[in-house]
Amino acid sequence: AEAYLLECPNELEAMVDVAKIADIVLLMIDGNYGFEMETMEFLNVLAATGMPGNVFGILTHLDLFRKPQALKDAKKRLKRRLWTELYQGAHLFYLSGVMNGRYPDREIHNLSRFLSVMKNPRPLIWRNTHPYSVIDSFRDITHPTKVEEDPMCDRSIVVSGYLRGTNFASSGQRIHVPGLGDFTVAAIEGLPDPCPTPAMEQAAAKITGKKGRRRLDEKDKKLHAPMSDRSGLKVDGDAVWITREKGFTFSKEDDEEDRELGEGEELIMGLHEERRLLGHTEEGVRLFSGGEKINKDTLEVDDERQSGRRTHRQPRLAARNDDDDDSDLDAVPDDEGFVSGEEGGDSDVEEEFHEGRLGKLFKGGRDDKNGQDDVAFADSDSDLGSLSSMDEADGDDDDDDDDDDEDDSDEEAAAARWKDNMSAVAKKMHGKRKPFRTADFARYLYDDSMTPRDMLRKWRGEDDEDEDKEENIEDDED
């Protein structure tokens, strides 16, 4: 089944005309205010002209009641009054209130569920024996020249809507438009239903042999809302209508007065006057601020320049500061290398090693040990000296060893001295806060216990400097 929702204007005449063709009337009532005079007049007119099958009352603004007992009493009082005007057992629904511009989804779902499963309303004989239609869209097809010549000329319009009751006559059907009068229908044409029922979809599938795909959101109903425009924008089929009271001006020549245009008007006029397609511009594109614009010519020149490297890359050697090393390297011939001799270990070829190839560490060690590693050789015992001289020399060597031991102990003491007061040194180096930190400034700014002067001093790190000075003074006094 289909549900056709029609919003009625807030006028008594319109309410009566809509009630004549409606199967169900949803009467909105302000629960906080109660029944108004217009509501009672509408119910009396319905009773005189022909009461529709069902009239449901809907109470709104119930969230304005602060006490639950007052809300309960108001519901009971309004229900009894509605039953007195309509009939005993008339349905009354409750909507708590508007949240974010909408009624609660659960309450709207309950209302729509009740309307979809309710029994068919009581039929009216007059509506079943007369054709009537609710027009949901219309279009003026009068020739524009006739309208320009005579704005009050007779218009030709095309209307569309659902036909109820019996069928229209094939020709010469007379219709009555409330508020306008009686007219004659020139032609009638059947249109496809924008929201077909499941039975209609099954019949169409049998005729065409094509079945639509089933989806998970199949339970969601289709919605057709013709003539539902907002802010001058209306969608009718495949056309979009934009209505503006003063009309549109898309050319600067037509606008004789020198007036300032808005940003939107300038964009529309610029698009209207521009005849080039997208990408057909000769000005180019600027990628970075302050850079030159790139166009087709610059791209071709860059392609010619960026052809790749044409020469081998040359290595760059770091210059050495040690002049002695440079002189040693210069003394070495270029063709020097390892010479392979015989397989045996007794080779007559000797290799020369230059100190220029050694590091500074090895150079110093070799210089210091030159005198110690040499072994004394002599042709006779007299050349070596006497035993006493050898003993004295041994004594001197012992003294030198003692001096070396003392030096080693001094070096060990110096190496262990830096470990003293390690925690104090670490606290001194890392215990201070870095000044001018944004996070600290934000924290100090919202600290009510600090004055602005103290906050600035602490943020600049001046308090830490004062504490260090006091500690140094105490250390000096001790």
Q: What is the pLDDT of residues 29-41, one digit of tens each?
A: 888 787 888 888 8
Provide the pLDDT for residue 217: 59
Q: Minimum mean pLDDT among 1-5, 202-206, 389-393: which range?
A: 389-393
Rounded to an integer, what distance in angstroms lies between the CA atom of residue 451 and that of residue 435?
Answer: 18
Calculate what percentage of the chain has a pLDDT beyond 90.
0
Provide the pLDDT for residue 286: 78
Rounded to an integer, what distance in angstroms lies between the CA atom of residue 292 and that of residue 223?
Answer: 54
Q: Indicate if the pLDDT at residue 110 is higher than 60.
A: yes
Q: How confident is the model at residue 245 (pLDDT cuts 50, 70, 90)?
A: low
Higher-pLDDT residue of 86, 355: 86
- Burial of residue 81 (CB within 10 Å: 0-12, 13-18, 19+) is middle
Q: Indicate if the pLDDT at residue 445 is higher than 70.
A: yes
- pTM, to two decimals: 0.42
Which string of b and e fits 151-189 if b means at least 16 CB within 10 Å? eeeeeeeeebeeeeeeeeeeeeeeeeeeeeeeeeeeeee
Provide the pLDDT for residue 346: 47
Outline where 290-356 has alpha helix (H). Answer: 296-305, 323-331
Rounded to an integer, what distance in angstroms lies between the CA atom of residue 269 and that of residue 233?
Answer: 20
Calculate what percentage of the chain has a pLDDT beyond 70.
54
- By the 8 A CB rule, do 44 and 84 touch? no
Provide the pLDDT for residue 207: 84
Provide the pLDDT for residue 365: 47
Sign of the alpha-carbon torsion through 365, 367, 372, 375: positive
Q: In which residue ranges of the chain is CATH 3.40.50.300 found?
A: 12-124
Higher-pLDDT residue of 216, 337: 216
Q: Indicate if the pLDDT at residue 149 is higher than 80.
A: yes
Q: How confident is the model at residue 226 (pLDDT cuts 50, 70, 90)?
A: low
Q: Indicate if the pLDDT at residue 308 is higher than 70.
A: no
Outline where 156-277 has alpha helix (H). Answer: 198-208, 263-273
Phi, psi of 154 (to 5 degrees): -70, 135
Rounded to an integer, what distance in angstroms lies between the CA atom of residue 250 and that of residue 253?
Answer: 9
Provide the pLDDT for residue 388: 47
Q: Indicate if the pLDDT at residue 251 is higher than 80.
A: no
Mean pLDDT on 336-360: 47
Q: Indicate if the pLDDT at residue 305 is higher than 80.
A: no
Q: How confident is the model at residue 272 (pLDDT cuts 50, 70, 90)?
A: low
Provide the pLDDT for residue 412: 66
Mean pLDDT on 361-368: 49
Mean pLDDT on 390-412: 56
Provide the pLDDT for residue 309: 64
Mean pLDDT on 180-196: 83
The shares of helix, strand and coil residues in the chain, as percent rounded to the nearest 5, are 45, 10, 45
The CATH number of the structural domain formed by 12-124 is 3.40.50.300
Higher-pLDDT residue of 94, 398: 94
Q: Minimum mean pLDDT among 9-23, 103-117, 147-161, 392-406: which range?
A: 392-406
Q: Give the strands of the sheet with 54-60, arranged side by side.
A: 24-30, 54-60, 92-94
Q: Indicate if the pLDDT at residue 254 is higher than 60.
A: no
Higher-pLDDT residue of 244, 263: 263
Instruction: Work out the mean pLDDT of the chain and round it to a whole number.
Output: 70
Q: Indicate if the pLDDT at residue 265 is higher than 60.
A: yes
Mean pLDDT on 209-217: 69
Provide the pLDDT for residue 338: 42
Provide the pLDDT for residue 419: 67
